[in-house]
Amino acid sequence: MKNPSISADFLPPLTVAAARSQKLAAVGITKKFGGLTALDNVSLDLARSTIHGLIGPNGSGKTSLLNMLSGYYVMDTGDVFCGGQNLSRVSVEDRVKHRIARTFQTPRLLGDLTSLDNVMSGAWSRTRSGFLASAFALPSARKEEREIRQHSEKLLKGLGLGELMNRRANTLEHGDQRFLEIGRALAMSPDYLLLDEPAGGLTDGEIAHLEEVIKVVRDAGIGVLLVEHHTDFVFRTCDEVTVLDLGKVIVHGKPAEVQNHEEVIRVYLGGTNASLAKN
Amino acid sequence: MTHPLFGRKGAGALALLVAVMLPLLSGDRYLLHVASLIGTYWVLIIGLNLIVGYMGQLSVGHVGLFAIGAYTVAIGSGVHGLSPELALVIAGVLGALCGFVLGVPSLRLPGFYFAMTTLGLSLIVGEVLVAQRDVTGGGAGLPVPGFSGPLATPSGLYLLVVGVAALISLVSWNITRLMWGRAMVSIRDSSVAAAAIGVPAGRVKLTLFTFSGFTAGVAGALFGALQSYVTPETFHFDLGLFFFICIVIGGKGSILGPFLGTVVLTLLPEVSASFAVVGHFLYALVLLFVVLLVPDGISSVLRWLIERFWPRPNPPTHRQLDLPLLASALRSPGS
């Protein structure tokens, strides 16, 4: 499976297409937890320079899918491809090398370290200095550290956290922690950024900021997967939207199409189309 | 000199220099011995601090590596006639190898389960030292030859200990302040975050166990030379616990804290020796006091003092995005 072209003849056409595309692609993923089917033959493409929304009611499998893409869960069947390589057996740590970064529903920061150190920690996989070079603080290691620091400072200032750079992360307010975690993910210089309910617990003002940030990230060529509950925010921000229900994809398309799709209104909003129809 | 921080740092360095030179200048042999002892303990604790204080791996087994270092000099130099300086280097290398082995169970076992395997190692080393009488001298122990030349005198040995301790402290500080330090803290505080930023936890752990084994081996060799005689009894499990407690009292994620912990806990039994009956009581009292009143250790007190006397202004509550800067940062990802 290392080289998908070799075994292409034996694979279904959809898998072959995904293996050859320059996208982050989930193909035919099924995952069961005990008797419960969390995901049932789900496929999803995340292209670069795109904001792709993933919505659905509680328990529809959104976060499970994100956990498969980032490698935290092992799927029962199906594959994950990134830029033509099969990542299905690649560990979470090694997926970072394939430039896949993510955030969590509850920010997973290093609370004892400063905001700046948290963002800089994101650059671990880009760090070339070995243990001995760091231990003796060789010029190469110091130069690399300086570059990472400058880049991280720019990210923090860009995200509006410049004043909080030297604060310990666990003293930050919830909204700031969310932006800080996005900063750490961006310090990995990802091609794909997977955001797990980034608007959770944010104020309206912060959600507006989040929207602006996500669009800048998209315009920098990064593919953003936005797993969210706030449908307004998703339809306003995304280029494409996929809707999951009970572990299956019900519809995928442009926000305007998805928004007015009969099935979405029925399943996702329990039959009332009021909140979607008002646009 | 005008910068206040530089002034404080300069004053700190001067104070440290005076403190280091005091035992030498005092001419008090006993004081010099105790100061050397603190130094040798500290060489081990620097390495162990990276394991316990920065990576959160509970090891009480480093006393086994300490014993291996001391016996390497006793056997290599005392029995087989190697130069003590060469034996010191071999002790470091052997300690590093054993440190690597000690670290292997940490890849699988969490918290206290791992601590028990390290306890196992320290017990095994103790048993082997007693049982292998032909090699180790058994329960009677072995004499350890001193270093040669200027290092043979107590003050020469003290300067060697200070030099080694300073060098390893510097190396340890570099490790913690650069990228490896962040990786270590991520292993300690959140395995989920560590994986998310791509930290290969196993490789980082084994590298640092190897390093801590090296410092433990070197510390053991220095300790052997300082005591000039080693017995298995010296490297009791209690000593391993002592090293561990120095770090716990010092506080996690700090180098200065565990250093102060080492100084205080080494001095305490010496100071209270004149009233031996209450010595252990005093020791226990200090432990209880620290654990109950400052559970985060000495370093948290230092941090509290700094924040109390040099408070930072509150940041503005309104956040201002700088989208052009963000875009430029995303275009040029640095290295």
Same domain, A180 and A153: yes
Is the Cβ–Cβ distance between A132 and B174 less than 8 Å? no
Which range among A222-231, B15-24, B235-244 shows the weakest confidence by mean pLDDT? B15-24
User: What does R_g of chain B's alpha carbons equal in angstroms?
Assistant: 22
Calculate how close chain B gets to A115, using CA atoms only, in Å: 12
DSSP B75: I
Q: Which of B168, B178, B254 is best to mutate for the A interface (most A CBs within 10 A)? A: B178
DSSP B318: S
- Indicate the residue of B174, B180, B325 with minimum beta-carbon distance to A158: B325
Calculate how close chain A gets to B86, using CA atoms only, in Å: 22
pLDDT digits (tens, 9 = 90+) for A112-162: 999 999 999 999 998 888 999 999 999 999 999 999 999 999 999 999 999
Sign of CA dihedral A45, A190, A175, A154: negative
Distance separating alpha carbons of residues B74 and B68, to the nearest angstrom? 10
Range(s) of the domain holding residue A168: 102-189
- Indicate the residue of A97, A109, A220 with minimum beta-carbon distance to B330: A220
Phi, psi of A265 (to 5 degrees): -65, -40
pLDDT digits (tens, 9 = 90+) for B272-286: 766 666 767 777 787
Same domain, A180 and A197: no
For residue B182 the two structure tokens come to 């962040």
- For position A40, what pLDDT does the model report? 92
Calculate how close chain A gets to B91, using CA atoms only, in Å: 20
- Indicate the residue of B195, B312, B333 with minimum beta-carbon distance to A92: B195
- A139: Cβ–Cβ under 8 A, 6 or more apart, which residues? none
- Three-state SS string across B39-66, please? HHHHHHHHHHHHHHHHCCCCCCCHHHHH
- For position A17, what pLDDT does the model report? 66
- For position B268, what pLDDT does the model report? 82
pLDDT digits (tens, 9 = 90+) for A156-168: 999 999 999 999 9
Task: Give percent of chain A with pLDDT exceeding 70.
Answer: 89
Same domain, A16 and A29: yes
Distance separating alpha carbons of residues B247 and A34, to the nearest angstrom? 44
Task: Give percent of chain A with pLDDT exceeding 90.
Answer: 72
Q: Which of residues 198-237 of B touch A (CB under 8 A)?
A: 198-201, 207, 211
Q: Which of A73, A103, A126, A131 is best to mutate for the B interface (most B CBs within 10 A)? A: A131
Same domain, A181 and A196: no
Task: Give percent of chain B with pLDDT exceeding 90.
Answer: 55
Domain membership flag for residue A219: no
Tell me if chain A has a CB within 8 Å of the CB of B107.
no
Domain membership flag for residue B112: yes
DSSP A20: H
Q: What is the CATH number of the domain that holds A264?
A: 3.40.50.300
Which amino acid appears at position A148 of this protein?
A: I
Averaged confidence pLDDT in chain A: 88
Domain membership flag for residue A29: yes
- For position A278, what pLDDT does the model report? 41
Is the Cβ–Cβ distance between A79 and A2 less than 8 Å? no
Mean per-residue pLDDT, B121-145: 90
A chain contacts of residue B189, beta-carbon cutoff 8 Å: 110-112
Examine the pLDDT at B326 and tell me if it is beyond 80.
Answer: yes
Same domain, A198 and A80: yes
Which amino acid appears at position B78 of this protein?
A: G
Distance separating alpha carbons of residues B37 and B138, to the nearest angstrom? 24
Same domain, A88 and A121: no
- Three-state SS string across A211-252, please? HHHHHHHHHCCCEEEEECCCHHHHHHHCCEEEEEECCEEEEE
Number of domains in chain B: 1
Q: Which of B334, B186, B317 has the alpha carbon at shortest distance from A186?
A: B334
Burial environment of residue B30 by CB neighbours within 10 A (0 to 12, 13 to 18, 19 or more) = exposed
Tell me if chain A has a CB within 8 Å of the CB of B325.
yes
Averaged confidence pLDDT in chain B: 88
B chain contacts of residue A134, beta-carbon cutoff 8 Å: 174-175, 178-180
Range(s) of the domain holding residue B87: 25-237
Partner-chain contact B182 A124, CB within 8 Å: yes
Which range among A19-33, A105-119, B55-69, B123-137 shows the weakest confidence by mean pLDDT? A19-33
Domain membership flag for residue A144: yes
A chain contacts of residue B322, beta-carbon cutoff 8 Å: 157-158, 160, 162
Count the neighbouring beta carbons within 10 Å of the beta carbon of residue A132. 13
Partner-chain contact B186 A121, CB within 8 Å: yes
B chain contacts of residue A124, beta-carbon cutoff 8 Å: 179, 182-183, 197-199
Q: Which of residues 9-38 of B touch A (CB under 8 A)?
A: none
Domain membership flag for residue B159: yes
Distance separating alpha carbons of residues A181 and A171, to the nearest angstrom? 14
Residue numbers in chain A where pLDDT is lower than 70:
1-20, 268-279
B chain contacts of residue A167, beta-carbon cutoff 8 Å: 315
Same domain, A63 and A196: yes
Examine the pLDDT at B211 and tell me if it is beyond 60.
Answer: yes
- For position A201, what pLDDT does the model report? 92
Domain membership flag for residue A262: yes
Q: What is the pTM of this model?
A: 0.89
Which range among B50-59, B77-86, B167-176 shows the weakest confidence by mean pLDDT? B77-86
Distance separating alpha carbons of residues B74 and B94, to the nearest angstrom? 14
Domain membership flag for residue B209: yes
Domain membership flag for residue A35: yes
Calculate how close chain A gets to B92, using CA atoms only, in Å: 16
Count the neighbouring beta carbons within 10 Å of the beta carbon of residue B303. 16
Q: Which of A95, A50, A55, A100 has the alpha carbon at shortest distance from A228?
A: A55
Which amino acid appears at position A117 of this protein?
A: D
Chain A residue with CA closest to B201: the answer is: A93
Domain membership flag for residue B2: no
A chain contacts of residue B197, beta-carbon cutoff 8 Å: 96, 121-122, 124-125, 184, 188
pLDDT digits (tens, 9 = 90+) for B280-320: 777 778 778 888 888 888 888 888 888 888 887 777 778 88
- For position A273, what pLDDT does the model report? 46
Is the Cβ–Cβ distance between B224 and B71 less than 8 Å? yes
- Indicate the residue of B179, B189, B326 with minimum beta-carbon distance to A134: B179
Burial environment of residue B230 by CB neighbours within 10 A (0 to 12, 13 to 18, 19 or more) = buried
Mean per-residue pLDDT, B172-199: 95
Cross-strand partners of A193: A101, A224
Same domain, A170 and A63: no
Tell me if chain A has a CB within 8 Å of the CB of B167.
no
- Indicate the residue of A109, A147, A159 with minimum beta-carbon distance to B321: A159
Task: Give percent of chain B with pLDDT exceeding 70.
Answer: 94
Examine the pLDDT at B333 and tell me if it is beyond 80.
Answer: no
